[in-house]
Amino acid sequence: MASQHRKPRSAGPRVAGIRTPAFATAALTSVALLSQTANAAPSDDGKPSLEEVEKKVDDLYRQAESATEKYNAAKEKTTKQRKRVDSLLDDVAQRTQKLNEAREELGSYAAAQYRTGASAPDTATFLLADTPQDYFDQNQLMSRVTDRQKGAVDDFVTEQSATMRKRREAAESLASLTDTQSDLRTAKATVQKKLGDARELLSRLTAQEKARLAAIEKQRQEEAAAKAAELARRQAAAQAAARQESGAPSGAATGTGTGAGSSSASAPASPADPSYGAKADKALAFARAQIGKPYVWGAVGPGSYDCSGLTQAAWKAAGVTLPRTTYDQVKAGATVSLADARPGDLVFFYDDVSHVGVYIGNGMMIHAPKPGAYVREESIYYDGESGIHSVVRPA
């Protein structure tokens, strides 16, 4: 995806990737296709250039992902509010039952007094009134009510007040739920509109244009992989220096990062937090098991995921509960530098924190990238260094 409106970030050392003979032919093909794209003149019929289409599609996917996180937040809020409304309505029903029972008890007292002539007829009105507390200011009526009857009236007034309060809370919660449901519908419509626009743009491309677009994507991935490899080398060098300074054996782990082994290797937990490594291993094992499953916006598994749905599910498998959205997940742990990133950490992207992946080491991550793609391993530099927002250690 094209990077735009990013926070300026200091660029680390950049090392050009060295292509091996195994994909030299593919590289030459990419260069040729990209050259055609770069030299292509604007279309006479006003049709946008391939670069414009690519940028627009990337922007639409980004906007759709941002809208997806808003949808996820609204959906989570709706679920919580619905539970609260249901609880309040149950409480109101129970209190109403108690109120009716108190009213019936008062009615029996009033009827008995009226039959025996023990009180004036207005006592019945007093006992059956909607607000009987008002009558207690009248001393002549107070003297005619026994302690038991007074207690019954007190219970009635208390239940009536509590019931009215709960009814107001329920009404306010229902109104809030209605507003959130409206936000949910709006976010859903936004996602669908952005994805529909992107599909429409892509459907207009010719076979040759699609091939050139694929070549651009391939070149971008190769550049991102080269940067990931450079990060791995820097981290390995830092670990070696730390071991040498501490006098630890050359094969000992410092627990500071990722090492320079395979991209799926996990660094041991740091001595300060021996439990993190075990939890991270479980989260990574879960994430790897999801590779190949489709990205679906709003999905939390098990058959498909969006980006935050995948990270939430991965860490849940490790016994750690993360919030649903990227906006909240970025707050659910300690922020660490990219140089200190360890397997299991969460890597967040873009100024609006609309994307996240699980770091696996060596500058690589597992993430659910975008609509039309599948859960996969990929360089954390897939959208350039400026696209990286922060790294968070969730446990």
Residues with a known catalytic role: 307, 355, 367
Q: Are 261 and 362 in contact (CB under 8 A)?
A: yes
Q: Which residues pair with 379 in a beta bridge?
A: 364
